[in-house]
Structure 1
Amino acid sequence: MVVRVFTASSSGSVAIKKRQQDVVRFLEANRIEFEEVDITMSEEQRQWMYKNIPQEKRPAQGNPLPPQIFSGGQYCGDYDSFFESKESNTVFTFLGLKPRLASKQESEF
């Protein structure tokens, strides 16, 4: 299952850039395979992202802001949802992935 993180490289918002970096760094640090999709470079990808965010997860006004996270084509959530799952140590569940065994356990087998 491919985790896709929709980002915007040309965002003028420092907060959005920081949130995008937080998600990407976390995935890299935990060796979770992912694809970063820059919606500022592809109108088709931007439209796909907008179309695939459930109506109840969209903001009351305006368009959903990056980062937006999908796994295997299924919508996982935005940064706030990701942050909540990170704080509660449920990121693998949030991403629809099976939790990994600790590396110490893996080396014992």
Structure 2
Amino acid sequence: MLWKIYFVKKHQQAIVGFLEANRINFEEVDITMLEDQRLWMYRNIPEEKRPEKGNPLPPQIFNGDDYCGDYEDFFLSKEMNTVFSFLRLPPVKEIES
């Protein structure tokens, strides 16, 4: 029998890659290993962002205790070039030429 494991590593990699490329300090929290962190994440996601059934799935993005959004929100902010405001960070100063 062949076991299949389904996960969305590409979403996590996209977010981490952006943060690393922009030298934004962050902490990855593995909620499978830290029960208290998983419960904290569930409690701090706004009601309107929770699925009708079950629990919200990672990646979920927080700036400290401030909820920013999920992967779809991150992706849309990249498309609209508003990631820094999405992350509740000051805008990057443009380099003068």
Whether the TM-score (by the shorter chain) exceeds 0.5 is: yes
Q: CA RMSD in A?
A: 1.3
5+ residue gaps, structure 2: none
Higher relative contact order (CA 8 A, sep 6+): 1
Higher strand share: 1
Give the number of equivalent residue pairs: 93
SS in 1 for 2:12: helix
| Counterparts of 2:44 and 2:71, CA distance in 1 | 16
Note the alpha carbon deviations across 1:80-104, whole angstroms, 9 max, x for none.
00000011000000010001213x4
- Normalised by the length of structure 2, the TM-score is 0.89
| Counterparts of 1:52 and 1:13, CA distance in 2 | 25
5+ residue gaps, structure 1: 1-11
> What fraction of aligned residue pairs are identical, expressed as a percent?
66
Shift of 1:55: 0.7
Q: Which amino acid aligns with 2:41?
A: M
Equivalent position to 1:66, from 58, 61, 69 = 58
Runs of 4 or more above 4 Å deviation = none
Shift of 1:32: 1.3
Equivalent position to 2:46, from 39, 46, 54 = 54
